[in-house]
Each structure stands twice: as structure tokens, then as C-alpha cells.
Amino acid sequence: MTEQDSGTVALQYLSLDSPEIRRLADEIRELKQTFLRNSSDMVAEVGERLQQAKGALTHGDWLIWLSDQACFSSRTAQRYMNVAAFAHQHAELFVDLKDLGPAKLYGLAVLDQPLLNQLLGSEYLVVPGTQREKTLAELSVVEFYQVIRALQGTPAFDPQKAVLRLGRRLRRINQDVETLALFVDELNPADVQMLAEQLESLLQRLREPRSLEAPYDEDIPPEPGAVPAVPEEPAPFPMDEPPGAGYVGAAPDMGAYENGTGSARTEPRSTLGI
């Protein structure tokens, strides 16, 4: 709101407890819950259809169909199918839990029954590190997976050790790149472009790291009982590869497309198989 005073315009800010600000917060929370609920239903529906296609195709044809026609990576497809199986096996529970959103459902769907019962049977869960008590709904996605790791006795993620491991791997990659550079004229241009884009994408993520509370992430292994790495709240179709990775000459991963980060390509398909 504004007011005129001697020909100037002065802004009048609302207080945090003003009715209008409270109304906006209520509407945002409701819209978020609707989004999460609908996203969970969508993931289960898509996962069910993926299961049907997988059962009707040979393994080789399934992977080709998944990439070329469904525009999914195998990892994303497995997550969706895990949620679909969970929704089928625990129909009533799925209805109660789908407001949590897909990111938490990915983790819940692969837990063994004792741990699932322990997680859902506790009204309040202790967040490792802060020791704060929160309900399952109150936990951020990051905290949710921290709690799971703590319940399973899995060691907490050590960033410094991860940096050391990555450094060792990068030294090996650097050697490979130097070797490839000697034969760059003999390489498929599409392969060179793909590798360059993937490396640049990784560098960009280190230069501008996303907050752990950001709405998207990717690294959730599909194996039953496994403890997923910390994911973040996804869009209905989560991205799990750098934009354009693995899809030169084909439609991008649906996650990248839905998040506005993917784009169709016209270059020749890479022969790297990555």
C-alpha cells in the first residue's frame, strides 16, 4: 500500500501478523499440500504403467523403450515403480502418506517393514545433529533422510571424506581426458560435446551449490532397504541427470523437461552409451 505525501510515494509495509499476510501463508501451504498430494498420485499412476510395460517387454527392449519412448532413465523409472508397488501393497497407508510428497515416498517405499513401522509409529522423530523433535510431516526432506540413516545406524555423511574421494576420482578422470585429447580428431563430435556439457554441468553445481532445502534433487537409490542419499522435494517428474545427459538426439529425461532444464537435441546420437 502507498500514500501520497508532498508529491512523494511512501511504502507502508504489512506486519508479519497482519490478516493479509496470514491469509497468503495459509493459501500457499494449502497449494503446496495439493501439489504434493497430486504429485504423489501422479508418480504412482506413472509407476503402475511403467510396471506394465516392463512386464510386457524383454529386458533389452524395456531399456530401449524406457529411453526412446517413455523418456525416462532407469533410475527414475525404478523410483516410480517402487512408489506404485507401495501404493498397491499399502493402499490405505498410501492415502495417508501421499501428502508428504514424492521425495519422502521414494524413501518410504524401499524401507523394510520393521523400519517402516518404527518410523511411522513415532509421533515425534529426533533430527540428528540438532536433536530437535519433529513430526514426519514437519521434517524437511533432508531431515527425513537423516532420521532414516540414524534409525538404521548408518554413518552420517562426511563432506570432507567425500571431497577426498572425489579428488581421487578427478585425478583419474583428468588422466583419461588428457589421453582422449591426444585423439580428439578421431572422436565422435557428439561424444566430445556430451562429455564437455556433463563436466561443465558438474562444475556449475560446485560453483553455485543448491541449498539442501531447495526443491529438487536426484540421488535416491532404488534398492529395497537401502538408505537413500539426501534428496530434495521433486517436481512431479524429478530430474536425475544433468540436462541433456544421455539424450543427445532423443527426447530429454522427462524430469529435465518438466523442470524446464532439458531441451530436445538435433545433434547425432552419442555412441558413448552414457
pLDDT by residue (tens digit) across 161-213? 878 888 888 888 888 888 888 887 888 888 888 888 888 877 877 776 543 33
Whose cell is 561424444? That residue is 191
Q: What is the pLDDT of residues 115-148, one digit of tens each?
A: 999 999 989 999 988 889 999 999 999 999 999 9
- 217 has a pLDDT exceeding 50: no
pLDDT category of residue 251 using cuts at 50, 70 and 90: very low
Q: What is the pLDDT of residue 69?
A: 94
pTM score of the predicted model:
0.57
Q: Percent of the chain, pLDDT > 70?
A: 70
Whose cell is 579428488? That residue is 167
